[in-house]
Structure 1
Amino acid sequence: MNTFVRTFTATLEHIDELGHVNNAVWVQWIQDIAVAHWQAAADPVHVSAYFWVVVRHEIDYRGNIGVGEQALGRTWVPGTPRGARFNRHIVFADARGKDIVTAISTWAMIDRASGRPARVTPNIVAAFAE
């Protein structure tokens, strides 16, 4: 499978009253890395024709980072889609390489022209396989 990697740096606005990255920021970073992966891997024709919306997030928090610290995000799309949906896996690791946030997100592909869900075809999935 095609794994996409991006580094995220915690800034002061990401930090909550506990002194670490707020849970809502992790959700935003999940969306950011997923969208960046789609834009980097997908055929530009598909990027123009479709966009993705989140249907579900399942997130496990096992650690955190503070201001100025970095998390390495990795994402990939295993398996096969189910109609308009597929699951995306996301893992964030701290500077020591320890996985601190893991997630499985379900996304649905939407046709830009109709605004309706569209079946994820094999040629779209091919961009995410190695």
Structure 2
Amino acid sequence: MNWDFENPHTYDITVQADDIDELGHANNAIYVRWLERCAWQHSKSLGLGLDEYRELDRAMAIVHHQIDYLAAGYEGDELTMATWIVHWDKKLRMTRHFQLCRKSDGATLLRARTTFACIELSTGRPKRMPASFIDGYGKAISADTKAEP
């Protein structure tokens, strides 16, 4: 794959019949579900899953999506979603970049950016990232994404 950045965390997807909409391709809403699953999988790989979020009374909650749908996915397509943490302030905000590619031809179907804010689960209010978030998510910042705004 021709990834936008080096060292992606990847999530493999096969487009299912239930993913297809009336236009005959993967519904735009399903792409959002794939973004979420890829982000969760990456967080878990860094030791920051739902159990850790609950124990810390903190979570990274989505505050903004920017999605560019570049090409359609069709039933049976084998896809790979990649993600990178491209920006974070080590306090409240973190931004992920996503890229979705079709395995058969390497075509990029989607690029997205999602901004997250750290919240306290018990109140839903913004709260500074705990040290374990800074340590865990900090491992995911690679040299080629650190300069990304």
- Which of 104, 108, 116 lines up with 1:107 in the alignment? 116
TM-score when scaled to structure 2? 0.76
User: 2:3 aligns to what?
Assistant: none
Pairing of 1:56-67 with structure 2 (within 5 A): 56-67=64-75
Residue by residue over 1:12-38, the C-alpha shift from the partner in whole angstroms, topping out at 9 and shown as x without a partner, is 110001111000000111111111111
User: 2:147 aligns to what?
Assistant: none
Residue by residue over 1:85-110, the C-alpha shift from the partner in whole angstroms, topping out at 9 and shown as x without a partner, is 11100000012111110000111122
User: 1:127 aligns to what?
Assistant: 139
CA displacement at 1:82 relative to structure 2: 6.4
Q: Is 1:8 matched with 2:13?
A: yes
Residue 72 of structure 2 aligns with an amino acid whose one-letter code is N
Q: Is the 8 A contact 1:14 1:25 kept in 2?
A: yes
Matched residues, number: 130
Pairing of 1:35-46 with structure 2 (within 5 A): 35-43=40-48, 46=52
Q: Is 1:31 matched with 2:36?
A: yes
- Which of 110, 127, 132 lines up with 1:118 in the alignment? 127
TM-score when scaled to structure 1? 0.86
- Which of 93, 105, 112 lines up with 1:85 in the alignment? 93
Residue 21 of structure 1 aligns with an amino acid whose one-letter code is A
Q: Is the 8 A contact 1:46 1:124 kept in 2?
A: no
SS of alignment partner, residue 113 of structure 2: strand
- The answer for unaligned runs of 5 or more in structure 1 is none
Quote the Cα distance in structure 2 between the aligned partners of 1:115 and 1:67. Answer: 38
Structure 1 runs of 4+ off > 4 angstroms?
43-46
Structure 1 pair 127/113, CA: closer, same or farther in 2 (3 Å)?
Answer: farther
Moved more, 16-25 or 72-81: 72-81
Q: Is the 8 A contact 1:5 1:75 kept in 2?
A: yes
Residue 24 of structure 1 aligns with an amino acid whose one-letter code is A
CA displacement at 1:80 relative to structure 2: 2.7
Quote the Cα distance in structure 1 between the aligned partners of 2:97 and 2:79. Answer: 16
CA displacement at 1:70 relative to structure 2: 1.6
Quote the Cα distance in structure 1 between the aligned partners of 2:108 and 2:36. Answer: 18
